Amino acid sequence: MVSPVKRAFKYRFHPTDVQAAELSRTFGCVRMVYNLALAARTEAWVRRERVNYNATSAMLTAWKRTEELAFLNDVSSVPLQQTLRHLQAAFTNFFGKRAKYPRFKSRKRSRRSAEYTTSGFRFRDGRLTLAKMAEPLAIVWSRPLPEEAQPSTVTVSQDAAGRWFVSMLCDDPSVKSLPVTDAAVGVDVGLDHLLTLSTGEKVANPRHERRDRAALARAQRNLARKAPGDGSNRRKARRKVAKIHARIADRRRDGLHKLTTRLVRENQTIVIEDLTVRAMVKNRSLARAISDAAWSEFRSMLEYKAAWYGREVIAVDRFFPSSKLCSHCGKLAKSMPLHVRTWTCEGCGTTHDRDVNAAKNLKAAGLAVSVCGAGVRPQRRIPGGQPAAKQKTPRREP
């Protein structure tokens, strides 16, 4: 029997002044414990000694008994233990060469969050009460939890715009594999159009950042005029900039969720290109537009939703000449500058739309390697350790 998919349900909530103060203290203690444990492990690393989670947990107990760190007893111990587990996971990824060495958390730049396990909260009749709190959180239930769902983990956070969120991790039995179909589609991402499908359909690029660029520039100029420091006026100006950024990110995320859900529901196989977005944004002329398009976020959403619903995502090698290859006869054009949007094949005389032709070639290459098998490149992974997408290099003719 297949176990239900673990799924996080995120909601806004509005804390009382007492709850906000308690959570702010918890965030600060979580950050301090993480930094203290990281410093201890770094010192041990220099001395070539090994310190694991159990050792840092014992350190936490000792810290609580000191006079200068006695305030750690005023908040729930569960988030403090969880941040030590997160640090252990960070070191595991570092030693596994999957991440860089862990960094210290900054009071201004780090995410303000605290994670509670089942011993740190009570969830009854749709009311969530955290440890050290007398009243339940006033959650805005924008969508219902799965029937009879019991959260296994609750994460409370506050973003830069001052909004409070609670994320509940639950088993979701409604997520099941969709019926198998023969539909397959190639997807070419771009800037003029966000997506171009092998069917010829083009999805417009909404350019969310451009819509708010003028308002964002005004808010940033206003922030720049404020005196440095932690003054109230500077905090208000910083909060206004953060709200604009949050509005842009929310619209972008909503649009990508709708697109990826539609693609996964309609197609059994989805073929994309394995782009190196991190290297592409180094182009200062295109960095802003590429970041606004959020190609990496699009791919991540596509991969985990495909894993949920029994679909397949194939990532074709980035060096595959999808734009220069004629999808009709297979002749390779000599060059294809970015400004060329339509071109005519010298072999068969077919006139191609650059993006539609690329999407068709991606689809053909992805289906070919999935059937006959070609070189498989190292696969990206999603949380949980499962491969997220097949990255394959199309077989080329000798």
Instruction: At 272, list the tokens.
Output: 């994309």
- Cα separation, 249 vs 259, in Å, equals 15
**Which residue's entry shows tokens 């003028």?**
214
- Cα separation, 142 vs 126, in Å, equals 13
Active-site hit among 115, 274, 292, 355: 355
Catalytic site residue 188? yes
Active-site hit among 115, 273, 274, 292: 273
Give yes or no for a contact between 152 and 117, defined as CB atoms under 8 angstroms apart.
Answer: yes
Instruction: At 370, list the tokens.
Output: 């999935």
Catalytic site residue 273? yes
Return the exposure string of 104-140: e unless at least 16 CB atoms fall within 10 Å of the residue's CB, then b: ebeeeeeebbbbbbeebbebeeeebebbbbeebbebe
Active-site hit among 188, 209, 274, 292: 188
Q: Report CA-CA distances (Å) from 204 to 126, 201, 255, 376.
A: 40, 10, 11, 32
Query: What one-letter code names the amino acid at 126?
Result: G
Catalytic site residue 125? no
The β-bridge partners of 352 are 343
Give yes or no for a contact between 314 and 389, defined as CB atoms under 8 angstroms apart.
Answer: yes
DSSP state of 136: -
Give yes or no for a contact between 276 and 189, defined as CB atoms under 8 angstroms apart.
Answer: no
- Cα separation, 321 vs 336, in Å, equals 10
**Which residue's entry shows tokens 């989805």?**
270
What is the per-residue DSSP string for 5-71? EEEEEEEEB---HHHHHHHHHHHHHHHHHHHHHHHHHHHHHHTT----HHHHHHHHHHHHTSSTTGG
- Cα separation, 392 vs 395, in Å, equals 9
HSE at residue 97, side-chain half, CA atoms within 13 A, is: 0
Give yes or no for a contact between 246 and 207, defined as CB atoms under 8 angstroms apart.
Answer: no
Q: Which of 211, 48, 15 is nearest to 129 (CA)?
A: 15
**Which residue's entry shows tokens 């908040």?**
75
**Which residue's entry shows tokens 């529901």?**
265
Instruction: At 264, list the tokens.
Output: 């996964």
Residues with active-site annotation: 188, 273, 355
